[in-house]
Every structure is written in structure tokens, then in C-alpha cells.
Chain A
Amino acid sequence: MSILNEISQRLEEGDDAAVPRLVGEALAGGLAAKAVLDDGLIAGMNVVGGRFRDREIFLPDVLLAARAMYAGLDVLKPLLERAGVASRGRVVIGSVHGDLHDIGKNLVGIMLKGAGFEVIDLGHDVPAARFVAVARERDARVIGMSALLTTTMPVMKEVVDLLARENLRGRVRTIVGGAPVSAEYAAEIGADAYGYDCAQAVERVKELAGA
């Protein structure tokens, strides 16, 4: 088994001790940081994401794998930055203004990081203007919004409309999710995508970011 395969496999098992050690060994063996990231860590998370989607493994398994991924990423990060390797893209996420629920949003954040995205988590109760301002300042490709309450869902439309007014539609794409949200609602307010769970959200963000 190649060391990249082994990294991928240990990551799938959620072994956050073995993954950084193996990443170190791979680098010492002369492999490029980008190769370790793509063919070891992200490859492993892709397998985990697929197995989760197919209901072969459960959410805790995914989160454990993500934790192992972060442990490996900590070793790689300085090298990636030095080599000028960009992330798959920057994603701004948050629960919309008036909504204090952020469990679903947090899960999406963990999964996005696991898929190689840089995640800027604005937390909960985030006003529309802040989503847009941060996306512009940080050159984010995607804004991800979550709502648990029907009363807070209109903030999602405010964000979409604000992006349009500021001529950012197309450059900054939007994805929405949360218990009361649906694909129909996403289409109705002009959002670019909808994710019914965190695994699907990651797939949609990948499409939006062209990653």
C-alpha cells in the first residue's frame, strides 16, 4: 500500500494520531505537499463523504475523519502556504439574522473544511450586510446560509438581493439550507443552490466553486 493510500485509509478510520505522522513521513519521503493534500487527505474525505451519503457510516464517523484531516492539514499548512497552493476556495457560512441555531451550519463547516475549502464561519444571528461584506473583503466564492425558523428565512433573500444590487451575483454564489428550507424556496429567492444535508451541501458548494 502506498503511503498516500495509507493516509487516506487512516483518515477514513478517524485516526488523528496516525494521519499527521504519515503526512510527515510522506513529506520526508519527498512527496509534494499538494500531492499529499489531494491524493491523501482529500481523497480520504471523498471516500468518507460517499460512504456517508450511501448511509454506510454515520455522522460521528465523518466528524472523526474530519478531525484526522485537520490534524494532517496542520502539518501541511505551512508548506502549502510557502508553495502558494490555494485552497479549493473560500466559503462564508452563517446562520441568518434572528436565528440562533447553528448545529447544521457547524456540520456543513466541518464537512467543507474536510473537503479542502477555507471556511469563514460568521456564527449565528448574521445580518445580510455582514455576509456580503465579508464575502467581498475576503474574496469568497460562496456564501452558505442556514435557517431553522421560517421567520428568519427572508434574510436569505435579502442576501441574494444585496449581492445583486452590489453586482456580485455570479462572482459570489449562494447556497441555502436548514429544516424549513427547500429546493423550491431556494429557486424562489434566486439562491444558486440548496443542500438538504451537510453531505449534499458540500457537493453543491464544490459545483458552485468549480472545485
Chain B
Amino acid sequence: MAMKPRLRLLGDDLIDRILGEARDVLARLGTQVQNPRVLALLAGHGARVDLGAGHAWFPAELIDRCLASAPRSVALFDVMGRQTHDLAGDAVHFTPGSAALHVLDHESQRIRKPDTADYVRYAQLVGGLEHIAAQSTAFIPADVAERVSDSYRLFLSLLYGEKPVVTGTFTIESFAAMRDMQLAVRGSAEALRERPLAIFSCCPTSPLKWSEITSQNVVDCAESGIPVEFISMPLSGFMAPVTLVGSLVQHAAETLSGVVISQCARPGAPMLWGGSPASFDVRYETTPMGAVETQMIDCAANEIGKRLGLPTQAYIALSDAKLLDAQAGLETSMGATLAALSGINSVSGPGMLDFESCQSLEKLVLDNEICGLSLRLARGIEPREDFPAVPLFEELLRDGHLLIAGHTRRHLKAEHYFPGRVIDRANLSRWREDGSLTLGQRAHAEVERLVRAWRPSRLAAGAKKELTARMEAEARRCGMERLPARPVEA
């Protein structure tokens, strides 16, 4: 009798047509692959390649074979080895938007470059956010050399937090360091393969191009059993057709090409049908992530992934606003709601402002509540001891209320989501007595409370030491003798 609410934007016929066109694009036009090793790998599996031009064409048979070997679910495990994610079916998990260049400073309300202290605060905070299932390497500390800025984020996340991490590398070379840090946590390559700790984002470049770095990352992750999410980013009307269906064809082609690279590297390698497709605002030359069309392409791309039976990911539930204002709330809420109703398995976005380029801890706290509300909505309405109804109504009429009825006590917290202190539900008088606080002030107070409540990760001291040693070695490799001081002991 229960019906989970679901959003559907595409019919199966249209999805099949989109996938058919995407296959046709890959067979007839192919994709650039600027990596001779990956081209050789693809050639060995039946792709037609032009090594000189750096180009590959994928016959239907190769795509079918790779889709067949792609896993239907991906599990993730936290630092302590406990499973936190079953990325499959309609399960929805939220993770902060990743790799911002800036943070919104609460005190000054200015967007600025972050440093190590900011990142540690973020890692402390995200552990306390109930509806944010994973950490991401949310922004890039500017007080380390650029060449270690990818591995350094992962290092701090693994050192201070316990949740699994959504991350990615910026170079081919840093992959080894980032894999080895995970090995320091897990203890062995086999243990890491059995219990993946991180998802790596791997981004094709629109239109239809894999750079040397990202294509190599896909192969390296596949060989190590590290899950990847393909982040195809067609921009409607600019680097992709202006129509939403046309953009979806391009997204499908680019993502299918990722599937092929991954599965050729190692059949069964864990991967997610992901993406960050976007509308392109031809007035401002920007890629609005809060645009309804962006969200529609995200949700529709997820439907295509599900049609293929693959776990999915999308960049949605974020905003283009520059402050924690009403626009930030409305764009994030709309995206999170649509994502939850679409059953996107891994939703990247919370905390993010300014076109995926600015993280805000205060927004992340608010977004945690938005995620909680969205997840509640997606659970839908189901009968719970509601029939027959007469006995409960007899009790109501007899007692005058049901506040402490057994029925209420059994179902209150499962039926009703009670948001934290960021969401104001006090009456006017109480709100005034509490200081007439704005959303931003309440969110900041909650950030402070959660950072204070942080306790060091339970990762063994030996593993933390090993992790630190590997980061220090990576820093030295990149010409950095000392890492910045960390504000608190891990």
C-alpha cells in the first residue's frame, strides 16, 4: 500500500532513443583520448583508435560488453571500516560539494581563499551532520603548494573525520599518494578493494574529450578498486546542444565513454553514472547550478543511468548565490528535493555557493537540514498501525489528546522529521527572547557548537602516524619541506 514518491522526467522510449543516439555519436564521431596508454588499452579491447590524433571510436559491441561488466551497486565504508553507503536502487546519500576554491567567511561575509585551519574546521563539522553521509574534499587549502593541494585535502579528511570521502586528483602523479593514504587507513590493497573508502571524481571535458590526467585516473582507480564517478559537464547551448535532450545525448556519450575506459581497465571496476551538466546563461556567461534546467538535466541523466542499471551521482543541491541568502536556500532546497525524489544515489552539492566555487560552513549546516527534509519526503507516506482507525480515535476522544499515546510514542520520530536549531520553528515571542537571530546567526552558532562537539577520529594512532608520514613524503616530493601547522590534534 505504501507508495514512495518518485520524479520521472523521461519515458523509457525517450531514454532508449537518447542512449541509441549517444552510442551512435561514440561509434561515428568517437571521443578524444589524450593518453596513449589509455588508447592502447582501448584498442586492445576492440575500440578503433587513432594514436596520432589521440582519438577513439567505440563500437556498440564494446559498449555493451562494458555495460554488462559494470557493477550494479557500489558500497562505501568509513575510516573505521563500517559500511555507510549502498549506492544502488533509489538509495539517496548527500555529500558536500567538492573542490571549491573559496570559502565564505562568516565574520567578514567575504569570499576568500581557505587555509588549513578552515579545512580542519570543515572536517570537524561534517562529522556531526546527520544527513551528510560522506565527507568530500570540499575546498582547496591555499597554504600548501598547488601540486599537493589534492592529496592534502584527502589527508586532512582522513585524519580528522571518519566518514568516507568523495575526492579526486588534479595530476596523474598524486594518484599514488592518495591511494597510499587510503592504504594507510585500511592496511592493505585487498582490504581497500573490499571496503572502498573514497570515490574519485573523474571528469571528461566537453565536448567528447578525455584529458591525459582524467583518463589515466579512471584506469588507475579501476586497477586499485577505487570507485569513480564520471562528471560529464555539457553546458547547454555552449559546449552542448541547447536542448535538454541534446545535452542528455552528449552527457550519455561522455559518460558511456568513461564506462568503457573503466571496464576495459578492469571488468567489474566500481563506478557511478554521474555528472554535473548545466544550463549556460548566455546573459552572464555563467553555468548556473541552481537553474531549474540544470536540475532537470541532472535528474534526467540519473534516470538514464538507472535505465542502464548503474549507481548514479549528480551535482545538484547547491546554489549560485554569493551569500547565505534566500536564493541559496531556494536553489539548494529545490535541487535537494528533486534529487531525493529522483533517487540519485550520491548527491554532491551541499554547502556550495557561487557555481561550485565557494563552500560555506554555515550553508552546509543549513543544507544538512534541507537534506533531512528531502530524505523525509522521499520516504513517502505509509500506513503504520493506522487501520482500523476507530480504537485510536476512541483513545483521542477519551483522553482529549494523543501526546503520550503509545501510538504517538512508537511513530513520532519515524513519521515527523524534527530539524535542528537552524530552522526556526519558535513562536514570535520565543524567537525574540532567543535574540531575534537571523538564519545566518543560527547557522553560525550551530557550526560553533558542532565544531566544539567534535572528538578525534577513532582511527588507530599508528594509522594516523602512517597517514601523516605519507603526506609529508608527498609534500617533500613536491618541494614542500613542511606542512602547515594544524590547529588541533587529530
* Interface residue ranges, A against B (CB under 8 Å): 55, 58-60, 63-64, 67, 103, 106, 179, 182-183, 194, 196-197, 200
Contacts and interface: CB of A to CB of B under 8 A. Distances in A.
B327 interface: no
Interface of B: 400-401, 403-404, 408-409, 412, 418, 421, 427-430, 433
A182 B408 contact: no
B401 A183 contact: no
Given A60-B403, A64-B404, 14 more contacts: A55-B421, A58-B412, A58-B418, A60-B404, A60-B408, A60-B412, A63-B403, A103-B401, A106-B400, A182-B429, A183-B429, A196-B428, A196-B433, A200-B430
Contacts of B429: 182-183, 194, 196
Nearest to B402: A60
B403 A59 contact: yes
Given A103-B401, A106-B401, A197 B408 contact: no
Most buried by B among A60, A103, A194, A200: A60
A191 to B, nearest CB: 14
Contacts of B428: 182, 196
Contacts of B418: 58
B363 to A, nearest CB: 22
A67 B403 CA distance: 12
Nearest to B429: A196
Nearest to A110: B403
B433 A67 contact: no
B411 to A, nearest CB: 11
A134 B421 CA distance: 41
B430 A196 contact: yes
A67 B404 contact: yes
Most buried by B among A103, A179, A196: A196
Nearest to A181: B429
Contacts of A182: 428-429
Contacts of A200: 430
Nearest to A195: B429
B404 A197 contact: no
Nearest to B431: A196
B368 to A, nearest CB: 16
A60 B412 CA distance: 9
26 contacts: A55-B421, A58-B412, A58-B418, A59-B403, A60-B403, A60-B404, A60-B408, A60-B412, A63-B403, A63-B404, A64-B404, A67-B404, A103-B401, A106-B400, A106-B401, A179-B427, A182-B428, A182-B429, A183-B429, A194-B429, A196-B427, A196-B428, A196-B429, A197-B427, A197-B430, A200-B430
Contacts of A179: 427
A96 B206 CA distance: 70
Nearest to A103: B401
Contacts of A58: 412, 418
A67 B405 CA distance: 12
Contacts of A59: 403
B435 to A, nearest CB: 14
Most buried by B among A67, A183, A194: A183
B334 to A, nearest CB: 28
A67 B409 CA distance: 14
Contacts of A196: 427-430, 433
Most buried by A among B404, B408, B412, B421: B404
